């Protein structure tokens, strides 16, 4: 197996940026999930899993320079209609508020992962879903950090309890990636597919962990970083 794609999501629930190489730190990919949209009224961090914020997925963010990924001047945000702002542009937050219909702020916060710092996805499982889209399009709705190719379909179901060596890093898979409504929504140019969750359930309903009795629609694995380092497209991926 080898690394096919690398993705970083500087702002939680926004679309991300594709990379050729990345530094993987102890708490995740450098510059990933460092920023969040926050409801100015409630103080709650916005998540696209909740309907009121689902349109955040139509926006994207990237880092122009990750020397200091917490520097707002290094953050670039693109809203629908190809409206581009830097993170330190005073027009950005009003534009985001207008787009979402809510008063909000954009804040640097501690990394806000739902379950684990890395998400690894195997293209063979995406291919089995037969979405009718090219693999590089279809996989974007699943928001991976590291895309692996060359494996068998749903091979990652059996990676729990192992060590995965990816280029210069090692990671420990902690659980299968249970899927939610986000896979059915529009992700920038990737169209909504309302029955996608049902499709994943049809092909790979398994327990999220080996200790669970309940089955869930799963695709990919979450992992903790055991050895930080560098990863590039084309790096070998192996178990053990």
Output the domain CATH number for residue 162: 2.40.33.20
Share of the chain above pLDDT 70, in %: 100
Residue 114: pLDDT band (50, 70, 90) is confident
Alpha helices in the chain (DSSP H): 92-100, 123-128, 135-138, 196-203
How many domains does the structure of the chain reveal?
2
Do β-strands 146-149 and 118-122 pair in parallel, antiparallel, or remain unpaired? parallel
Taking the mean position of all CA atoms in its chain, how far away is CA 29? 11
Question: What mean pLDDT is predicted for residues 229-239?
Answer: 97
Cα 168–109–41 angle (5° rounding)?
Answer: 150
**Average pLDDT of the segment spanning 25-33:** 96
Instruction: Judge if 151 and 232 occupy the same domain.
Output: yes
For the segment 47-84, what is each residue's pLDDT rounded down to a tens digit? 887 777 888 999 999 999 999 999 999 999 999 999 99
130 and 213 share one domain: yes
End-of-domain residue from the set 79, 108, 137? 108
Task: Clarify whether residues 211 and 121 are in a common domain.
Answer: yes
Q: Give a yes or no: residue 194 inside a domain.
A: yes
Is 137 in the same domain as 204? yes
Token reading at 176? 């299968």
Would you state the structure tokens that stand for residue 105, as one six-digit string?
Answer: 């702020």
Q: Would you state the pLDDT for residue 53?
A: 82
- With respect to residue 147, please indicate whether it lies within any of the assigned structural domains: yes
Q: Taking 90 as the threshold, does the pLDDT of residue 9 lie above it?
A: yes
pLDDT beyond 90 at 146: yes
Co-location of 98 and 123 in the same domain:
no
| Domain match, 223 and 164 both | yes
User: Encoding tokens for residue 167?
Assistant: 């280029």
Q: Residue 185 pLDDT more than 90?
A: no
pLDDT at 162 over 90: yes
187 shares its domain with 120: yes
Q: If 0-12 CB within 10 Å is exposed, 13-18 middle and 19+ buried, where does residue 188 land?
A: middle
Give the C-alpha separation, 178 to 222, whole Å: 9
Task: Give residue 1's pLDDT band: very low, low, confident or very high (50, 70, 90).
Answer: very high
pLDDT attached to residue 126: 94
Mean pLDDT of the chain: 92
Quick one: pLDDT at residue 175?
A: 96
132-145 pLDDT, tens digit each: 888 888 888 899 99
User: Residue 70 and residue 111: Cα distance in Å, rounded?
Assistant: 11
At 203, the pLDDT band (50, 70, 90 cuts) reads very high
Residue that is last in its domain, among 85, 108, 131: 108
Long-range contacts of residues 82-87, Cβ cutoff 8 Å, at least 24 apart:
87/35
Task: Look at residue 228 in the predicted model and tell me its pLDDT.
Answer: 98
Q: What gap in Å lies between CA 195 and CA 130, rounded to an integer? A: 12
Q: Which domain holds residue 126?
A: 2-8+114-239
Query: Which residue, of 81, 108, 135, is where some domain finishes?
Result: 108
Would 13 be classed as within a structural domain? no
Task: Return the minimum-mean-pLDDT range out of 104-108, 119-123, 190-194.
Answer: 190-194
The pLDDT of residue 186 is above 80? no
Which residues fall within 8 angstroms of residue 18, CB to CB, at 6 or more apart? 5, 6, 7
Same domain, 167 and 228: yes
**pLDDT score of 115:** 82
Q: Are residues 216 and 122 located together in one domain of the fold? A: yes
**What's the pLDDT score for residue 104?**
93
Domain match, 153 and 199 both: yes
């Amino acid at each position: 197996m080898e690394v096919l794609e690398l993705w970083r999501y500087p702002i939680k629930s926004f679309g991300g940026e594709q990379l050729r190489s990345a530094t993987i730190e102890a708490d995740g990919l450098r510059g990933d999930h460092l920023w969040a949209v926050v409801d100015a009224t409630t103080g709650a961090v916005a998540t696209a899993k909740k309907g009121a914020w689902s349109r955040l997925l139509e926006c994207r963010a990237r880092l122009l320079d990750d020397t200091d990924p917490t520097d707002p001047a290094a953050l670039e945000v693109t809203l629908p209609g190809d409206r581009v702002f830097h993170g330190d542009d005073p027009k950005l937050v009003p534009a985001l508020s207008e787009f979402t219909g809510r008063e909000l702020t954009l804040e640097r916060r501690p990394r806000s992962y739902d379950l684990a710092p890395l998400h690894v996805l195997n293209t063979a499982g995406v291919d089995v879903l037969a979405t009718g889209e090219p693999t590089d399009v279809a996989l974007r709705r699943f928001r991976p950090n590291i895309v692996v190719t060359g494996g068998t379909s749903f091979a990652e179901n059996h990676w729990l309890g192992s060590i995965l060596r990816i280029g210069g890093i090692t990671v420990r898979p902690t659980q299968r990636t249970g899927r939610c409504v986000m896979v059915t929504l529009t992700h920038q140019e990737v169209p909504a597919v309302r029955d996608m969750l049902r499709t994943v359930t049809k092909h790979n309903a398994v327990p999220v962990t080996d200790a669970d009795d309940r089955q869930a629609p799963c695709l990919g694995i979450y992992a903790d970083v055991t050895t930080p380092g560098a990863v590039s497209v084309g790096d070998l991926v192996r178990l053990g």
